[in-house]
Chains A and B, each alone.
Chain A
Amino acid sequence: MGMTMVEKILAAHAGEEEVKPGQLVNAKLDLVLGNDVTTPVAIKEFNKIGVEQVFDQDRIAIVPDHFAPNKDINSAEQCKMIREFAHDKEITNYFEIGEMGIEHCLLPEKGLVLPGDIVIGADSHTCTYGALGALATGVGSTDMAAGMATGEAWFKVPETIKFVYNGQLQEWVSGKDLILYTIGDIGVDGALYKAMEFTGEVIEDFSMANRMTMSNMAIEAGGKCGLIEPDETTLEYVKDRAQRDYTVYKSDVDAEYAEVIEYDVSEIEPQVAFPHLPENTKGISEVGEIKIDQAVIGSCTNGRLEDLRIAAKVLEGQKKADHIRLIIFPGTQEIYRQAMHEGLIDIFLDAGAAVSTPTCGPCLGGHMGILAKGERAIATTNRNFVGRMGHPESEVYLSNPAVAAASAIKGQIVGPREVR
């Protein structure tokens, strides 16, 4: 019997010939990640373990991005704690304000996650790196602590669901729409405890940005990870970034899947997920009249250069509606700089947008764009839970960057065809 990519990666890291779904294994880690919310808890736990040093100073990444730049005194204390820990333990990959970015945009850009890796991150969207063909999964702070101390973690080998996307994409339809559509189809627990594998001709044609957007939201379907087989596009992306060896794993043709789900993308239009779950999706033509107060473009889901280019294409020469707040936050400093060189930032400023330094800020209702009671936002982020972006009685609608930009212009949720 053949093995899936996930099974092969786990087997290789656990020193086994073969692993089977359901089996518990102890596996070696290639990278352990934490942010300014989860790392403070991890440090407290790490200090209880009784080791002096982390397992490998080059294999830990710490990124203050959630409440950074420090939003208040408490966040400043949390950031200080992780900064001092990183300094103390001589952790190479600590990224300070000014050189940081949203962790899941930053790590691939820096070449810190590579095909065939096992990565655990004390952040649920660690699954983003599945786009590179890595087994990357979110864990909690205690796992991060144990991972930093030992370089290992326990895993239950997951079953895999294979998703196949074929057909011709409609205009303005992107990876975000395919993943929202998929979550709408299988539900927020549709892939619970399972690995997702995204395949098909549409995925093969996708850029890394689109692939990362899809893998990013595997967790919104309850998935442990969301993998895409490395190909030319992947290798081109990692070529000048990788500073260590890596291995490409591909699923065997006779690998066993829990399920195979096929989609003809030709029928999929831009998607909007209604409050308060990512599974409440509708095609843009079925949205109806929904007025908004704020449009947010960015995050680890859609804060990459390609996303900003799409937003700029829609916003060029246009203005946001009067009563709207349009907030754009690039994923990393590099993306920010490139957006500036390409003139995208000018387009945003002309459109009346507030452009922010990279931060998670508005995405999790942290700072830089909190919603008041009764307010509504359209956002290119990944979660629209109750209170996610502010007041428990506010609402978040999820979409791709083109829809968010078009909605900002109209003051209500519309597709880009309405404005271009």
Chain B
Amino acid sequence: MEIKGQVWKYGDDVDTDVIIPARYLNTSNPKELAKHCMEDIDENFVDKMSNGDLIVAEDNFGCGSSREHAPLAIKAAGVSCVIANSFARIFYRNSINIGLPILECPEAVAGIAEGDQVEVDVDSGLIKNLTKEEEYQAAAFPEFMQELIDAGGLVNYVRRRVKNNE
């Protein structure tokens, strides 16, 4: 999967309430959710970003609620990848489960500035900063998680297992 785009940068503790405020959770339609993605932290996010752009943030991205609506909104808004120093664990798990590529890489977070053009190879964890001509290496996923990602998320993975057991 090709990931390449411009970076929008945020700080620590970007929580799920600002990624997708609870007032919009009376629907689970990803397209509806996407309209309000990041609204309470960056009102114009959806208007200014282009399809394929990346979010880069510092510590504890996605903290707070377990709402899968958060990674769903980010994915449906067209964000191709999120890179952070660290992720809150439920957000991390949800992203893997729904197939939103996310990478932990403090070097990349330190090196990348807002507006930089960045290219990512999720399989190898290699992050290229095209603007600054720098490269950063994120740790590759453990084997089991890579399997989940390759299967296209948890549901596909389980569907295959259920089929094989029949």
A114 to B50 alpha-carbon distance, docked (Å) = 48
Known A41-B69, A50-B162, A188-B13: A140·B21 in contact at CB below 8 Å: no
Which residues from B are CB-within-8-Å of A49? 155, 158-159, 162
Cβ < 8 Å to A, chain B residues 114-166: 142, 144-145, 153-155, 158-159, 161-163
A385 at the interface (CB under 8 A from B): yes
A192 to B62, CA, bound (A): 12
Partner of A365, one of B22, B67, B94: B22
Contact partner, A142, options B26, B65, B86, B153, Cβ 8 Å: B153
Q: Are B93 and A139 in contact (CB under 8 A)?
A: yes
Which residues of A in the span 111-157 have a Cβ within 8 Å of any Cβ on B? 121-124, 126, 138-143, 145-146, 149-150, 154
Q: In the complex, are the beta carbons of A75 and B67 less than 8 A apart?
A: no
Partner of A140, one of B13, B90, B144: B90
CA distance A192 to B91 in the complex (A): 12
**Residues of chain B within 8 A of A78, CB atoms compared:** 26-28
Interface status of A364 (Cβ within 8 A of chain B) = yes
Q: Which segment of A65-73, A93-101, A199-207, A338-346 sits at the interface?
A: A65-73
Say which residue of A74, A123, A192 sits within 8 Å of B89 (CB atoms).
Answer: A192
A392 within 8 A of B: yes
Asked whether, in the complex, the Cβ of B13 is within 8 Å of the Cβ of A154, the reply is no
Chain B residue at minimum C-beta to C-beta distance from A39: B28
C-alpha gap A222/B64 in the complex (Å): 8
- Contact mask for chain A residues 346-365; partner B; CB cutoff 8 A; 1 contact, 0 none: 00000000000000000011
Contact B18 A387 (CB under 8 A): yes
Q: Is the CB of A189 within 8 A of B59?
A: yes
* A48 is an interface residue with CB less than 8 A from chain B: yes
Bound CA–CA A366/B15 (angstroms): 17
A224 to chain B: closest CB distance in Å?
6
Instruction: Return the chain B residue nearest A120 by Cβ.
Output: B66
Q: Does A222 lie within 8 Å of B97, measured CB to CB? A: no
Collect the chain A residues with CB atoms within 8 Å of residue B49's CB: none
Tell me how far the C-beta of A79 lies from the nearest C-beta in chain B, rounded to whole angstroms: 10
Contact of A37 among B18, B25, B63, B97 (CB under 8 A): B25
Report the bound CA distance from A145 to B68 in whole Å: 12
Given A124-B66, A364-B22, A365-B23, are A222 and B89 neighbors across the interface (CB < 8 Å)?
Answer: yes
**Contact across chains for B162 and A37 when beta carbons are under 8 A apart:** no
B23 touches A366 (CB 8 A): yes
A38 CB-CB contact with B under 8 Å? yes
Contacts of A304 in B (CB 8 A): none
B113 within 8 A of A: no
Cβ contacts under 8 Å, B153 to chain A: 142
CA distance A387 to B59 in the complex (A): 20
Q: Are B66 and A140 in contact (CB under 8 A)?
A: yes
Docked-complex contact A150 and B60, CB < 8 angstroms? no
Given B21, B60, B142, which contacts A192 in the complex, CB threshold below 8 Å?
B60
Most A CB within 10 A of own CB, among B26, B64, B154, B163: B26
Cβ-based interface call for B110 (8 A): no
Whether a CB of chain B sits under 8 angstroms from the CB of A316 is no
Q: Given A74-B27, A154-B144, A386 and B93 touching (CB < 8 A)?
A: no
A44 within 8 A of B: yes
The CA-CA distance from A104 to B56 in the complex, in Å, is 34
The answer to whether the Cβ of B3 comes within 8 Å of any Cβ in the partner chain is: no
B60 close to A143 (CB less than 8 A): no
Q: Known contacts being A222-B63, A366-B23, is A189 close to B93, with CB within 8 Å? A: no
Contact partners of B67 in chain A: CB under 8 A: 37-38, 140
Taking the closest CB of chain A, its distance from the CB of B19, in whole angstroms, is 10
Which chain A residues border B161 with CB–CB below 8 Å? 150
Q: Residue A388 at the B interface, CB < 8 A?
A: yes
List CB contacts (< 8 Å) of B53-77 with chain A: 59-60, 63-69, 71-72
A140 touches B93 (CB 8 A): yes
Q: Does A45 contact B (CB under 8 A)?
A: yes
Chain B residue, CB-CB nearest to A71: B26
Q: In whole angstroms, what is the CA distance A44 to B68 when docked?
A: 13
CA gap between A78 and B67 in the complex, in Å: 15
A261 CB within 8 Å of chain B: no
Is A142 within 8 A of B63, CB to CB? no
Interface: A383 (CB within 8 A): yes
Also in contact, A142 and B68, with CB within 8 A (given A24-B142, A387-B40): yes
Chain A hits for B18, CB < 8 A: 385-387
CB–CB B64/A124 < 8 A: yes
Chain A residues with CB under 8 A of B97: 140, 142-143, 146
Q: B46: CB under 8 A from chain A?
A: no
Q: Which residues of A contact B66 (CB under 8 A)?
A: 38, 121-124, 126, 138-140
The answer to whether A74 touches B26 (Cβ under 8 A) is yes
The 7 closest A-B pairs by CB, nearest first: A140-B94, A140-B68, A74-B26, A189-B60, A142-B97, A124-B66, A138-B66
Q: A140-B97, A385-B17 are in contact. List 8 more A-B contacts (CB 8 A).
A: A37-B67, A51-B162, A146-B154, A222-B63, A366-B25, A383-B64, A388-B22, A392-B40
Identify 5 residue pairs between A and B in the complex whose beta-carbon atoms are under 8 Å apart, listed by A's number: A38-B66, A78-B26, A143-B97, A149-B158, A150-B162
Q: Which residues of A contact B (CB under 8 A)?
A: 24, 37-38, 40-41, 44-45, 48-51, 66-67, 71-72, 74-75, 78, 121-124, 126, 138-143, 145-146, 149-150, 154, 188-189, 192-193, 219, 222, 224, 277, 364-366, 383, 385-388, 392
